[in-house]
């Protein structure tokens, strides 16, 4: 499978620094769980549910069900969702392995990729998230997904819709 996202758009955001700043100032905290109150399985399930709801909201935001999306649209939505997954794990101080697990879950359950396709795509997204020069457009989409996570958590669905639709309008024919 070839990842088709065009390299013609860049948001230029540094959202990780913003998230770190908000966390350090205790201005942003989604939910904290402790092993004393919740089993690891319960915590993982909470994150899966949140990411599934986020993905569902994305499809509502673009006004079409999964079945009517193109492969390019799915790749953009999945990259955007990866940013949200990264934000979710970062804000809840989950290990990097959880980003990987949640991303594979999302790509298989929500975007209907095979396990191998999901694994390959997640590896690609991890590399791109770490190196802007590797694929600037996908890197920017991931960072817009971090913003999308904040918009979703704050129930700011209008701006979430504007965020994802703005990306799709720029990239998709």
Q: What does the pLDDT look like over 7-49, one tens digit per residue?
A: 333 343 444 554 455 445 444 434 444 444 444 565 678 889 9
- Share in percent of the chain as helix, strand, coil (round to 5): 70, 0, 30
pLDDT at 36: 40
Signed CA dihedral, 84, 89, 92, 98: sign only: positive
Quick one: CA torsion of 18, 21, 22, 27, rounded to 10 degrees? -150
Which carries the bigger pLDDT value, residue 72 or residue 92?
72
Q: Please, are residues 146 and 129 in contact by the beta-carbon 8 Å criterion?
A: no
Q: Which of 135, 69, 68, 129 is nearest to 99 (CA)?
A: 129
Q: Write the DSSP string, 33-64.
A: --TTTS-HHHHHHHHHHHHHHHHHHHHHHHTS
What does the pLDDT look like over 107-142, one tens digit per residue?
999 999 999 999 999 999 999 999 999 999 999 999
pLDDT at 42: 59
Residue 95: pLDDT above 90? no
pLDDT at 43: 63
Task: Enter the pTM of the model.
Answer: 0.77
């Amino acid at each position: 499978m070839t990842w088709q996202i065009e390299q013609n758009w860049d948001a230029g955001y540094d959202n990780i620094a913003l998230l770190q700043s908000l966390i350090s100032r205790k201005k942003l905290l989604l939910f904290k769980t402790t092993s004393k109150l919740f089993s690891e399985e319960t915590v993982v399930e909470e994150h899966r549910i949140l990411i599934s709801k986020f993905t569902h909201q994305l499809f509502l935001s673009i006004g079409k069900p999964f079945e009517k999306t193109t492969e390019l649209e799915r790749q953009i939505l999945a990259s955007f969702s990866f940013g949200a997954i990264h934000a979710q794990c970062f804000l809840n101080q989950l290990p990097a392995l959880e980003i990987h697990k949640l991303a594979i879950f999302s790509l298989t359950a929500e975007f209907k990729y095979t396990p191998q396709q999901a694994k390959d795509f997640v590896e690609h997204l991890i590399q791109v998230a770490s190196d802007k020069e590797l694929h600037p457009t996908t890197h920017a989409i991931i960072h817009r997904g971090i913003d999308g996570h904040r918009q979703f958590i704050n129930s700011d669905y209008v701006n979430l819709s504007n965020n994802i639709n703005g990306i799709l309008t720029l990239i998709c024919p």
